[in-house]
Amino acid sequence: MPHRTQQIIWTGILTGIPLLFLIAFFFWPLVNILRLSVTAVGVEAVLVRPYFRQTLWFTLWQAALSTGLTLLVGLPAAYLFARYTFPGRSLLRALTTVPFVMPTVVVAAAFRALLGSQGVVNQGLMALFDLSRPPLRLDQTLAIILLAHVFYNTAIVVRLVGGFWAHLNPRLNEAARTMGASRWRAFREVTLPLLRPSLLSASLLIFLFTFTSFGVILLLGGPMFSTLETEIYRQYVNFLRPDIAAVLALFQIVFTFVVMMIYTRWQQGTAVSLDMRAEKANLKRPNTWPEKAAVTLIMGGLFLFLVTPLLALVWQSLVDRNGDLTPAYYQALSETRRGSVVFISPLTAVRNSIGYALLTVLLAGGLGLATAVALSRPTRWRKWADPLFMLPLGASAVTLGFGYVVTYSTLRTSAWLVLIAHTLVALPFVVRSLLPVLQGIKPGLREAAAVMGATPGRVWREVDLPIIGRALLVAAVFAFTVSMGEFGATSFIVRPNSGFLTMPIAIQRFLSTPGGALNFGQAMAMSVILMVVSAAGFIAIERFRYADIGEF
Q: What is the mean pLDDT of each run of 10 residues along the chain (552 residues)?
A: 56 76 90 78 75 90 95 91 82 81 88 89 86 86 94 89 76 66 69 79 86 89 87 85 84 77 56 53 78 86 91 91 83 74 78 92 91 75 70 80 85 82 90 78 61 62 68 84 89 76 87 74 90 83 58 48
Count Cβ atoms below 10 Å from residue 39 Cβ, excluding itself. Answer: 15
User: What DSSP line would sit under 148-193, residue for residue?
Assistant: HHHHHHHHHIIIIIHHHHTTB-THHHHHHHHTT--HHHHIIIIIHH
**229: closest CA among 60, 106, 40?**
60
Q: Assess whether 179 and 87 both reside in one domain.
A: yes
Q: What is the CATH number of the domain that holds 253?
A: 1.10.3720.10
What three-state secondary structure class fits 452? Answer: coil
Inter-CA distances, 83 with 13, 164, 169, Å: 49, 11, 11
The Cα–Cα gap between 405 and 495 comes to 12
Which domain covers residue 279, as residue numbers? Answer: 38-316
Q: What is the pLDDT of residue 21?
A: 92
Q: Assess whether 312 and 376 both reside in one domain.
A: no
Look at residue 15 and tell me if it is in a domain: no
Q: Are 59 and 230 in contact (CB under 8 A)?
A: no
Helices and strands counted in the chain (H then E): 29, 0
Count Cβ atoms below 10 Å from residue 183 Cβ, excluding itself. Answer: 10
User: What DSSP line would sit under 387-450, residue for residue?
Assistant: HHHHHHHHS-HHHHHHHHHHH-GGGTT-HHHHHHHHHHHHHHHHHHHHHHHHHTS-HHHHHHHH
**424: closest CA among 11, 6, 13, 30?**
30
Last residue of a domain, one of 291, 316, 341: 316
**151: closest CA among 214, 196, 116, 101?**
101
Q: Are 441 and 463 in contact (CB under 8 A)?
A: yes
Q: Assess whether 455 and 486 both reside in one domain.
A: yes
Q: Assess whether 271 and 339 both reside in one domain.
A: no
Look at residue 105 and tell me if it is in a domain: yes
Residue 331's contacts (CB-CB under 8 Å, 6 or more residues apart) are none
The Cα–Cα gap between 247 and 222 comes to 22
Q: Are 63 and 211 in contact (CB under 8 A)?
A: yes
Last residue of a domain, one of 275, 297, 316: 316
Last residue of a domain, one of 298, 316, 334: 316
The Cα–Cα gap between 233 and 237 comes to 6
Q: Assess whether 384 and 253 both reside in one domain.
A: no
| Per-residue DSSP letter, 199 | H
How many C-alpha atoms does 514 have within 13 Å on its Cβ side?
A: 2
Look at residue 393 and tell me if it is in a domain: yes
Element (H, E) at 352: helix 346-376
Element (H, E) at 195: helix 192-211
Inter-CA distances, 361 with 470, 484, 485, Å: 15, 11, 14
| Per-residue DSSP letter, 116 | S
Q: Are 436 and 549 in contact (CB under 8 A)?
A: yes
Look at residue 11 and tell me if it is in a domain: no
Q: Assess whether 310 and 383 both reside in one domain.
A: no
pTM for this entry: 0.85
Amino acid residing at 306: L
Domain count, the chain: 2
N-terminal to C-terminal alpha carbon distance within the chain: 40
Q: Assess whether 338 and 218 both reside in one domain.
A: no
How many C-alpha atoms does 270 have within 13 Å on its Cβ side?
A: 15
Q: Assess whether 375 and 267 both reside in one domain.
A: no
Look at residue 20 and tell me if it is in a domain: no
Residue 413's contacts (CB-CB under 8 Å, 6 or more residues apart) are 495, 498
Q: What is the pLDDT of residue 550?
A: 47
Q: What is the pLDDT of residue 285?
A: 85
Residue 287's contacts (CB-CB under 8 Å, 6 or more residues apart) are none
Q: What is the pLDDT of residue 5?
A: 57
**510: closest CA among 309, 322, 336, 346?**
346
Q: Assess whether 68 and 46 both reside in one domain.
A: yes
Q: Are 378 and 11 in contact (CB under 8 A)?
A: no
Look at residue 26 and tell me if it is in a domain: no
Q: Assess whether 221 and 334 both reside in one domain.
A: no
Q: Assess whether 78 and 188 both reside in one domain.
A: yes
Q: What is the pLDDT of residue 549?
A: 45
Count Cβ atoms below 10 Å from residue 163 Cβ, excluding itself. Answer: 14
The Cα–Cα gap between 164 and 160 comes to 6
Greatest pairwise CA separation for the chain in angstroms: 85
Q: Are 508 and 218 in contact (CB under 8 A)?
A: yes
Crossing angle of helices 28-37/40-48, nearest 10°?
A: 70
Residue-wise pLDDT tens digits, 183-240: 677 677 677 777 787 888 888 889 988 998 888 998 898 888 889 889 988 888 887 7
Look at residue 16 and tell me if it is in a domain: no
Look at residue 65 and tell me if it is in a domain: yes
Q: Are 69 and 146 in contact (CB under 8 A)?
A: yes
Q: Are 233 and 492 in contact (CB under 8 A)?
A: yes
Q: Assess whether 442 and 506 both reside in one domain.
A: yes
